[in-house]
Amino acid sequence: MTALRLQSAALDRLMPMHLQLDRTGRLLHAGPTLRRLMHDVCFDGATLLDLFDVRGLQPVTSFDTLRGMTGSALHLRGRHPEGIKFRGLIVDMDEAAEGDEPLRGPATAAYVLNLSLGLNELSTLSDTSLTAADFPATDMVADMLYLIEANSAAMGEARRLIGRLQEAQTESERLALTDDLTGLGNRRTLDSVLRRYSVRARPFAVTHIDLDDFKLINDTHGHSAGDRVLRGVAKVLSEETRESDTVVRAGGDEFVLILDDITDPAVVERVAARIIARLSAAEVSGAPGITVSGSLGTTLSSFYTRPDGARMLRDADVALYASKAAGRARHVLWYEGLTHGLGDTSEEAAG
């Protein structure tokens, strides 16, 4: 029978994780998949035991020992990178089965060591660019890699879907707290922020703003003109407050400011004066013939032993109506006993 000579190219196709060794255990050739898996290892000129810890039934400390283990199952662990484990089978290319001529490998190779990965080692492939195409179709690793790739694709799609759902949820929550016309916070935002401030030790002020004769603007110039005014007012309020403050449209032509870390009434008076001046400017109305003004009422948490957001909002409302009763386009600071100009006390107005 004629000896079969297997070229390295054929072995690379059949066993892409094989090693070819000479009689001393020096590496002559490494399969392409093994090179890619151990890409940071220099195979050229190294010996098998330089690169791997080898065990059969017992540790292999010399290549002489390994020669006697041809045809037996081996367990190998790569030294570089540390930790990758292989199963292996080594064949003496000059050794023939009884009655056969020797199998011949590449001209100088005396041994061929074929390696495979155990199932527990498949996770190491996630850090490489190896795919099922790097393994022969007969290797179950190819099937497992296909499953891993399919699972990875499915998980990636699931993550993208979850991301889109989270974005949609965030946007939905934002819209639920946002006034469509002005882009400011809405009544839900106001209630949420007031509850938060009510349990904090940080001081704050509540300013209630109501536009003067806004219904007349709508009736005379139309609702589109009224909408332009509301957007202009929102712009002014946003520009005259800080990032830490909260500006909301409470409904209709009413706005509320929650001014963070405010204890000095003089600071609130200055902010109110700037707002009143800018509301009367042409930039707010957006059209000639439209006059805009606003009345403001404010209370500070420092006025109360135990500040309560709902109570403060009612008191700011009392101060607002007091400012309207005093002539409009004014600011009134709440104080105990203040009436809103209709004969009610603040206690009665709160009710």
Higher pLDDT, 213 or 125: 213
Give 288-335 pLDDT, tens digit per residue.
Answer: 778 899 999 999 999 999 999 999 999 999 999 999 999 889 999 999
| Fold adopted by 187-350 | Alpha-Beta Plaits (3.30.70)
> Which pLDDT score is estimated for 270?
96
> Which pLDDT score is estimated for 329?
92
Q: Please state, in angstroms and rounded to a whole number, the distance separating the CA atoms of residues 196 and 19.
A: 69
Q: Please state, in angstroms and rounded to a whole number, the distance separating the CA atoms of residues 54 and 44.
A: 19
CATH 3.30.450.260 fits 8-130, yes or no: yes
C-beta separation of 177 from 185 below 8 A? yes
Higher pLDDT, 288 or 66: 66
The overall average pLDDT reported for the chain is: 83
Q: Please state, in angstroms and rounded to a whole number, the distance separating the CA atoms of residues 87 and 96.
A: 23
Mean local confidence (pLDDT), 116-125: 70
Cα–Cα separations (whole angstroms), residue 154 to 127, 129, 148, 150, 159: 18, 18, 10, 6, 9
> Which pLDDT score is estimated for 259?
96
Query: The whole model's pTM is what?
Result: 0.54
Residue 281 scores a pLDDT above 50: yes
